[in-house]
Structure 1
Amino acid sequence: MTRFAHPPRRAVRVLLASVAVTATAAALLLAATPTTASAVDVFGALRMPGTAAFIVGHRGDRAEAPENTMASLERAMEALDFVETDVRLSRDGVPVLFHDTSLERVTGSRHSVDELDFDELRRLDVGAWYGAEYAGERIPTLDEFLEALASRETARALVELKADWTPEEVRTVIDLVEQHGLRGRIVLQSFSLETLFAVQQVSPTTPRIMLIRELPAEPVALAERLGVIGFGTTAASVTAVPGALEALHEAGIAVLCYTLNTHESWQEVSALGVDGIITDQPSELDQWLATTAPGT
């Protein structure tokens, strides 16, 4: 034990006591906080070249139903381990599933999602453009999607937070994930550094992926700085940075490729050993893997 030659003055004693209390509180907090799930925890063993990747249904199963509708997402959840969807906030702060900035392509409205309140968004038809049999499909809320996911024990999701989110906005998503008991079954992802840092601040134990069109020369350092368990990137990016995939796997970091819809592209990334393939054709990819990698 260290002994002071002269008793510390009151101000110093107060400071020492404050540091001790802070250190104790931090230790207790760390002990009570679950560690972040690793890529292996979430995705299983990282792939070797030639090993079948897991399949992610992009915005559900877009080959069979309109994107980001419950019809599309539920179809994918029934058949796949992972489904992918996009989240934006309505003008009044409700997280809803929608990809584009503008509503026009899917609904005909020239507004953006954040220009309308949820009640206004809910009146829009997001199925008729795809086919008459889906007329009347509505924009789902994140809450509705998570409820459906929670009812399927093996289903998991990659949830992309579109654009830049503040910590307060991220909290609305984390709260919904917690309410539905989906910790570890939801992976948040984003192209936005601001959003990834916000998730890291609000919920550092939530698994997250950085979406990036081109991998940097030293992707491991970036992944460790952001605390991500993986990257979602293009097939061209993986081949453009020699050794990147191997280095990331050695560090326990997963690599997923988007959005691949041809046999040729599936063959290319399977040969490389990427971990996940995000596709608009999940059923066809599943059949292709059954043929090219029997037993998967």
Structure 2
Amino acid sequence: MERPEPVTRASDAIDPTTASPRARPRSTTSAAPPPRRGTSLGAIRMGRLLAFHPPRRLVRVLAGAIGVTAVSAVILIVGTPTSATAIDVFGALRGPGEPALIIGHRGDRAEAPENTMPSLELAMDRLAYVETDVQMSRDGVPMLFHDTDLERITGDRRSVGDLDARQLQRLDVGAWYGTAFEGERMPTLEAFLEELAERPDARALVELKADWADDEVRTVVGLIDRVGLRGRVVLESFSLETLFAIQRVSPTTPRIMLIRELPADPVPMAERLGLIGFGTTATSVTAEPQALAALHEAEIAVLCYTLNTEDRWEEVGALGVDGIITDEPSELDEWLAVTAPGT
């Protein structure tokens, strides 16, 4: 029986139903001011983006002082590209009809409870790419967990950020899925990375949930470097603030922006943020096929989340997306074996 596709919000940092409890409420922002004469089209687009989704700290202060268009110029000047390109991470970018990469969403959720080591290890053993979510515990330990609070998985109404890592690891994160997984504990990012390092052909997409400060991002990058996984771990986020923090702390770390709707021309945004790709919805890609073409022309990847049915796989595959994030990696693999033999 096919499972319904989960509803995925555009931004964990903005939508209060999906945001991490560490995210602070955002104030309503007025429309972007008209561009000054001589301002480039790319700067105008970036200015509008910042006007509606401004980072909280330095960039927001600058926006208030000198205007969002000038801020976009600052970003353009100080931006540093990543050392790894989309082609380095994902291989040759796909053309229409070419099979997309399979990315296990929170591991292999069809076989084991999400974001647990059994789920993640299944995906790492079978796939080249696995996706997971990270939130910071109260005592500053990056933990693998998706939801705003712990209730759906553990029955506890508190959030990851309310508890220390030791308290979090006393919770059962497997019993909800089935008796075979009773006693599973919430993994740390460090434990996951150590397992990933044991599988030289595996890579990971790590979503930093909601807004992360520089020192928090530095903790994550430090773990990646310590385990020797630079270039094999891609950081991703819906949050502009988090993406700016990654750019400041580790500009050579490959990163992806998660966004519900691609702009008609997303290349200037990608260049200013130093992105190797976007993660977006099937609806966005089908609505803006020229955006996919423009990104590929600029050697920037496009991934689609979270697609669990054959009609969606076929729809985005026909357009040439580079990766499909799915809860059903085994079914997608079997479907590709039939529809694209030899992959």
Same fold (TM over 0.5): yes
Answering whether residue 140 of structure 2 is matched by residue 93 of structure 1, we say yes
Q: What displacement does 1:119 show? A: 1.0
Distance 2:270 2:177 in 1: 38
C-alpha contact (below 8 Å) 2:150/2:158 kept by paired residues:
yes
Answering whether residue 113 of structure 2 is matched by residue 113 of structure 1, we say no
| SS of corresponding position for 2:220 | helix
Q: Tell me the equivalent position of 1:5.
A: none
Q: Tell me the equivalent position of 1:131.
A: 178
Answering whether residue 324 of structure 2 is matched by residue 283 of structure 1, we say no
- The runs of at least 4 aligned residues of structure 1 exceeding 6 Å deviation read none
TM-score, normalising length from structure 1? Answer: 0.88
**Match of 2:294, as an amino acid?**
A
Answering whether residue 125 of structure 2 is matched by residue 52 of structure 1, we say no
CA 1:35 to 1:116, structure 2 compared with 1: closer, same or farther past 3 Å?
closer
| SS of corresponding position for 2:131 | strand
Q: What displacement does 1:217 show? A: 2.1
**Match of 2:271, as an amino acid?**
E
Q: What displacement does 1:242 show? A: 3.8
More off after superposition, 206-215 vs 235-244: 235-244
C-alpha contact (below 8 Å) 2:264/2:290 kept by paired residues:
no
**Match of 2:252, as an amino acid?**
T
Q: Tell me the equivalent position of 1:21.
A: none
TM-score, normalising length from structure 2? Answer: 0.76
Distance 1:250 1:201 in 2: 27
**Match of 1:261, as an amino acid?**
N
Distance 1:283 1:84 in 2: 15
Distance 1:155 1:252 in 2: 22
Q: Tell me the equivalent position of 1:229.
A: 276
Equivalent of 1:201 in 231, 248, 256:
248
Q: Tell me the equivalent position of 1:211.
A: 258
Q: Tell me the equivalent position of 1:144.
A: 191
Distance 1:287 1:35 in 2: 34
Cα shift readout 1:127-149 (whole Å, capped 9, x = no counterpart) = 00000000000000000000000
Q: Tell me the equivalent position of 2:73.
A: none
C-alpha contact (below 8 Å) 2:82/2:253 kept by paired residues:
no
Cα shift readout 1:5-34 (whole Å, capped 9, x = no counterpart) = xxxxxxxxxxxxxxxxxxxxxxxxxxxx99
Answering whether residue 190 of structure 2 is matched by residue 167 of structure 1, we say no
Question: How many residues are matched?
Answer: 264
| SS of corresponding position for 2:205 | strand
Distance 2:218 2:321 in 1: 31
Cα shift readout 1:255-278 (whole Å, capped 9, x = no counterpart) = 000000000000000001000000
C-alpha contact (below 8 Å) 2:214/2:249 kept by paired residues:
yes
Q: Which has the larger radius of gyration?
A: 1
| SS of corresponding position for 1:243 | helix
Q: What displacement does 1:218 show? A: 1.7
C-alpha contact (below 8 Å) 2:81/2:274 kept by paired residues:
no
Equivalent of 1:264 in 304, 311, 314:
311
Distance 2:223 2:324 in 1: 27
Equivalent of 1:274 in 317, 321, 337:
321
Distance 2:223 2:155 in 1: 30
Distance 2:333 2:287 in 1: 27
What are the equivalent positions in structure 2 for 1:237-252 lying under 5 Å apart? 237-252=284-299
Distance 1:34 1:183 in 2: 15
Q: Tell me the equivalent position of 1:254.
A: 301
CA 1:235 to 1:105, structure 2 compared with 1: closer, same or farther past 3 Å?
same
Distance 2:287 2:217 in 1: 33
| SS of corresponding position for 1:146 | helix
| SS of corresponding position for 1:46 | coil
Q: Tell me the equivalent position of 1:18.
A: none
Answering whether residue 235 of structure 2 is matched by residue 188 of structure 1, we say yes
